[in-house]
Amino acid sequence: MQKRQFLNTVACAALALTAGNALAQDKFKIGLILPMTGPFASTGKQIEAAARLYMAQNGATVAGKKVELIVKDDTSAPDVTKRIAQELVVNDKVQVLAGFGLTPLALATAPLATQSKTPMVVMAAATSSITQASPFVVRTSFTLPQAAVAIADWAPNNGIRKAVTLVSDYGPGIDAEKFFKDRFTFNGGQVVDSLRVPMRNPDFAPFLQKVRDLKPDAVYVFVPSGAGAALMKQFAERGMDKAGIRLIGTGDITDDDILNSMGDVAMGVVTSHHYSTSHASALNKKFVAAFEKANPGMRPNFMAVGGYDGMRVIYEAAKATKGAGGEPLLNAMKGQIFESPRGPMFIDAQTRDVVHNIYIRKVERVNGQLYNQEFATLTDVKDPGKAK
Ligand code: VNL
């Protein structure tokens, strides 16, 4: 009697365990860590909206498993990103980590991806070296050197001989400065000064005054997504444009999310980047229409596209591995080639970094709204930061 009861209990426990396992295996979990509050909240909002759009369009099951998207706010603090990533891996047992709004957040998490063999899809951060911080990193955003080199080739052919660089003082800014300076100088241009502004709450005024005094043909700028509006406002207030100093940069400064609110000062600004909301392809028109329908009043920017394409890479890899995570999932991400709303792109199997077109664009008014209008294309640009 007692023995039978014991056996019964064991059988029940075993069943519960199996059921628990089956349940866990029935899900494919994506841990999406983003800055949803604080100064970089726009990046989090764009990426979350795009990830949800991808799921709405492509179904919430993959390889027979229900996809669970777990969105967490890291407030753009690296120690928080790392702690959340740890919880997602250990407690939630996510198959993949994704998001990473800024370089320091990605770098803080990379060692954990390596230790736990969890693929880590970087959808926003853009310092070249991030993919080298862990063999488990795959990137669907872009790299600053890709954009910087392109505008450094364009500028000397378009009347810009003397430039001052002005960048946010951290990873992507340092990349933006170095790769612009090297290429622009190689092309016969001269960088007369290189200024770095604090990453958080920057006051551009004293730096812009310095630029005014130096009287270059152009000031070349990198600031992270979201900070462009403040820069543009102070650029106008200082009368830089009237002093004949042109503004050029990577497309982060004319971020589509906020471009429309920048007003006339943004008109004619030339930048280089991998995505514009007005990219003229059928696929992009569909993407923008669906995004705007699902998120009234919001325009998808390059962050949204990094998130959307990141979900594509994850879904297709999960299909190939039948929902398994770890190294097989990572390997199934390498070499993926597809059409993105940005244009053609692929994940370089060797570097795990994105290869795509870089476009030269000019801010113009179209039907009463400001857009980055692409007018030249460099095709299949690899990260120049990997050549060294
Ligand atoms: C980074 C690069 C962040 C480019 C950005 O916006 C950006 C980064 C938040 O690597 O931290 O536009």
Rounded CA gap, 189 and 180, in Å? 10
* Contact by Cβ (8 Å): 224, 199: yes
Q: How far is the CA of 157 from the centre of ligand 1 (A)?
A: 28
C-alpha–C-alpha distance, residues 136 and 331, integer Å:
9
pLDDT, position 1: 45
Return the CA Rg of the chain.
23
Q: What is the pLDDT of residue 9?
A: 52
Give the pLDDT score at 21.
45
Q: Cβ(343)–Cβ(350) under 8 Å?
A: no
Q: What is the per-residue pLDDT for 290?
A: 98
Amino acid, single-letter form, for residue 43: T
Return the pLDDT at 357.
98
C-beta of 384 in contact with ligand 1 (< 6 A): no
Distance of CA 104 to the CA centre of its chain: 13
Asked whether 252 lines ligand 1 (CB < 6 A), one says yes
pLDDT for residue 93: 97
Angle between helices 103-116 and 78-90 (to 10 degrees): 30
Q: How far is the CA of 21 from the centre of ligand 1 (A)?
A: 39
For ligand 1, the distance from its centroid to the CA atom of residue 245, given in whole angstroms, is 25
CA distance 354 to 351: 8
pTM of the model: 0.94
Question: For the segment 207-253, what is each residue's pLDDT rounded down to a tens digit?
Answer: 999 999 999 999 999 999 999 999 999 999 999 988 999 999 999 99
Instruction: Report pLDDT for 19.
Output: 43
Where the chain has pLDDT below 70, the residues are 1-25, 387-388
302 alpha carbon – ligand 1 mean position (Å): 10
List, in sequence order, every residue forming a beta bridge with 194; answer none if it has no partner.
165
| CB of residue 340 inside a 6 A radius of ligand 1 | no
Cβ atoms within 10 Å of 19's Cβ, excluding its own: 10
Answer yes or no: is the C-beta of 128 below 6 A from any ligand 1 atom.
no
